[in-house]
């Protein structure tokens, strides 16, 4: 009986601490925030010291859908975040985009193939398929509307949008 009395407060403490952990969606910027202890909020996606801050796009060459190996570390950082917060349902939409060259149909298909290629890398690194959605915007959401070669390169990308 004496051991039971010692265990009850400990069990209540563990229950209280685990009940305080949650992830909520911040509607203002579409990212998940983590509340780790009821009074402290930390969002690794918005932390400038975090390895995922500001790195939410993978860029592609013209008419290409191959993920360049230089982006594996970026995807790995997002993979770590998604795995750490899988129970809190952290997820992303991978948005495939293209430049404005080519037909709308071609660009929608290419954008979808780009987002699916990035999704395959996430899956290969162990992210659950339920945390990933691949979509295409084709040429409809340019990052840069200028008609320069540098602007065109910015538009050939897959963006990560946290839900």
**Mean pLDDT over residues 156-160, rounded?**
96
**Residues 102-137: tens digit of each pLDDT:** 999 999 999 999 999 999 999 999 999 999 999 999
**Residues 67-101: tens digit of each pLDDT:** 999 999 999 989 998 998 888 888 999 999 999 99
Residues whose CB falls within 8 Å of the CB of residue 83, separated by 6 or more in sequence, listed in order: 126, 127
Residue 24 is part of which domain span?
2-162
Number of folded domains that form the chain: 1
Query: What's the CA gap between 94 and 158, in Å, rounded?
Result: 6
Residue 46: the pLDDT is 63
More confident residue, 62 or 25: 62
**Mean pLDDT over residues 6-14, rounded?**
48
144 neighbors 154 (Cβ within 8 angstroms): yes
**Residues 26-66: tens digit of each pLDDT:** 444 444 444 444 434 555 666 666 656 678 899 999 999 99
Q: Assign residue 58 the CATH number of its domain.
A: 3.30.1330.60
Residue 27: the pLDDT is 40
**Mean pLDDT over residues 12-36, rounded?**
43
Radius of gyration for the alpha carbons in the chain, expressed in angstroms and rounded = 20
Determine which helix (DSSP H) or strand (DSSP E) holds 17, and give its type and residue range.
helix 2-20
Neighbour tally for 82: CB within 10 Å: 23
Regarding pTM above 0.75, the answer is no
- What's the pLDDT band for 19 if we cut at 50, 70, 90? very low
Residue 8 has pLDDT above 50, yes or no: no
Question: If you write DSSP's letter for every residue of 21-79 in order, what string do you get?
Answer: -EEEEETTTTEEEEESSSS-EE-TTT-TTSTTTT--EEE--TT--PPPGGGHHHHHHHH
Characterize the bridge pairing of strands 41-42 and 31-35: antiparallel
Residue 48: the pLDDT is 60
Q: Is 160 helix (H, G, I), strand (E, B) or coil?
A: strand
- Sign of the alpha-carbon dihedral angle for 106, 112, 116, 118: positive
Query: What's the CA gap between 2 and 14, in Å, rounded?
Result: 19
């Amino acid at each position: 009986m004496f051991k039971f009395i010692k265990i009850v407060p400990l069990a209540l403490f563990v229950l209280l601490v685990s009940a305080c952990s949650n992830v909520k969606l911040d509607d203002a910027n579409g990212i998940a925030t983590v509340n780790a202890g009821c009074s402290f909020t930390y969002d690794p996606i918005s932390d400038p010291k975090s390895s995922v801050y500001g790195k939410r796009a993978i860029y592609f060459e013209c008419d290409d859908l191959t993920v360049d190996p230089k982006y594996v570390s970026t995807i790995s950082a997002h993979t770590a975040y998604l795995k750490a917060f899988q129970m809190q349902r952290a997820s992303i939409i991978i948005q495939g985009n293209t430049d404005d060259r080519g037909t709308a149909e071609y660009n929608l298909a290419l954008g979808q193939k780009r987002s699916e290629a990035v999704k395959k890398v996430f899956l290969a690194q162990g992210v659950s398929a339920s945390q990933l959605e691949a979509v295409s915007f084709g040429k409809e959401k340019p990052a840069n509307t200028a008609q320069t070669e540098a602007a065109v390169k910015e538009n050939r990308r897959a963006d990560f949008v946290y839900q």
